[in-house]
Structure 1
């Protein structure tokens, strides 16, 4: 009986110690996961991610992108820089650069790609053009080289002004940068764990949401990412709860904890920005919802993404990573 009590106390303090370590060092949070968490499916782990991850490279001087609305493209000819200043406030979703996102614990990146005429580079885009992506990808690769037990999920969500030849060229670049770090599409998704990835020295999962025939790229259907098009707290929570309740057990899943303003909302908040009108109130509210979520089961969370993940007082990555310890 006494031995059992001592064992219980030791387990209790071990769990507390682990959680304290997690709070102090999210740079290595995957590396520090206890053994039981490295043998469950990656699709059942709670993983923090960023929405429009590279949008911090957008500036008010950026050119209007191919994904901008026709109205924005038209007004750009009339208003120029004044319009782009306004579009910038509603397009940027992250202020933390890639190195800092990685150090904060972000392990899923949401990417939107575009080409430019007579330019061989691939650019990040969100109404405005950002920087060429190859620099950011190399930064991720360098991080993985020095963090060999961490893994990254790259989700190529949207492609603008892309020809099939551009897709071929981009996939070649991805494989040349990450080489043997790329995790091929498994026959059974539920068997892919951190332990399996480490044994094979895989560190990168590439989701590619365009039809390509390559077993190193995961198709869209294996990592659904339903988009809540709302600025209502009530509607967002209802949407997120329903999505988790109905998610498939044999795929990953992305929960998007973010607001999407429509034209009416933007006009009503004309003098504000996406950060002040949407992200700030939502990030203050959504933390308590995230803390209540389950992991490691059919209706549990997997990847969770948000805007402005480094917002003061948000503790976004910490809250998500600590969900995994509910399984111990």
Structure 2
């Protein structure tokens, strides 16, 4: 995403690949819980493999052999168009990563991401890419939200231990410990810039944070999404809740028969639906100056003015 003059935020950010380091000093000491941070929803869905088995929904797995079914899942499951690196360079700092083990994989601990279909690239390869980027941009704090863990039921202890240990060894001293209330300055002073949220019920080692609450409208209708998120923001601010939370601008397909209204449109797909709705959702977001969100996640996070709009909310901090 290229930055145009009209999109430069008042705080002086000109390079979205390093926008956190360019924020004014007044924002360096506030908790990251109070900073507006752009995120991507289903961050790895650009990498879905049309030849993979169907991961979800369960009701469609028995139709994997029907060639049009994987095609429909790809058309309506790909919520992002750009790679993780391009998302990071564009300014995305929160990543929604849904982890799974493919059935019948010869490697007992090899993991993938998924959204309807499994990804082509495995989890370890992507985490290494993120780690390399974090090393090149030490002042940019990245939040990785790992969740779902589809297919872990048969051997949960081995798979979770493998993934947790891999994360610890890979990111090492860059990991922000969960006992602290992180600010940009505290992360910079300690040489940390990776926060790992791990959505699994169990004991958490110090390098893992618990689930980050994700609020979303659960609808394909922009007005309904805006209404639900507005209510959520008011409640959050009234309770003065501490900790990270995500305000999801993403559209959500129905889980009942009404899904056919969308997926059977021959010349339509999820990307086009998002492109038509995103300007309206961003217009609503620009108005959230008093009930300010924390992390804001979106489909097609590198498109339109999403990232600049989120970052600009920090002008009211």
TM over 0.5: yes
Greater fraction helix: 1
For residue 10 of structure 2, give the secondary structure of its aligned residue in structure 1. helix
| Structure 2 unaligned residues grouped into runs of 5+ | 1-6
Aligned residues: 296
Q: Report the equivalent of 1:83.
A: 69
Q: Report the equivalent of 2:112.
A: 123
Q: Report the equivalent of 1:108.
A: 94
CA distance in 2, matches of 1:174, 1:40: 27
CA distance in 1, matches of 2:148, 2:216: 13
Matches within 5 A, 1:43-58: 43-58=33-48
- Structure 1 pair 86–251 and aligned structure 2 pair: CA distance change class (3 A): same
CA distance in 2, matches of 1:69, 1:32: 42
Match for 1:266 among 250, 256, 259?
259
Q: Report the equivalent of 2:4.
A: none
Q: Report the equivalent of 1:177.
A: 170
Matches within 5 A, 1:294-309: 294=289, 299-309=291-301
Q: Report the equivalent of 2:210.
A: 219
Q: Which runs of structure 1 show a deviation greater than 6 angstroms over 4 or more consecutive aligned residues? A: none
| Structure 1 unaligned residues grouped into runs of 5+ | 1-15
For residue 39 of structure 2, give the secondary structure of its aligned residue in structure 1. strand
Matches within 5 A, 1:33-72: 33-65=23-55, 68-72=56-60
TM-score normalised over the length of structure 2: 0.88
Greater CA drift, 153-162 or 228-237 = 228-237
TM-score normalised over the length of structure 1: 0.85
Deviation at 1:310, TM superposition (A): 2.4
- Structure 1 pair 18–283 and aligned structure 2 pair: CA distance change class (3 A): closer
Match for 1:292 among 280, 283, 287?
287
Q: After superposition, give the CA deviation of every residue in 1:175-195 in whole Å (9 maximum; x if it has no partner).
A: 1110001111125x3xx2111
Match for 2:149 among 151, 156, 159?
159
CA distance in 2, matches of 1:207, 1:251: 12
- Structure 1 pair 293–160 and aligned structure 2 pair: CA distance change class (3 A): same
- Structure 1 pair 133–17 and aligned structure 2 pair: CA distance change class (3 A): closer
Higher Rg: 1
Q: Report the equivalent of 1:13.
A: none
For residue 304 of structure 1, give the secondary structure of its aligned residue in structure 2. strand
Does the 8 Å contact 1:258/1:282 carry over to 2? no
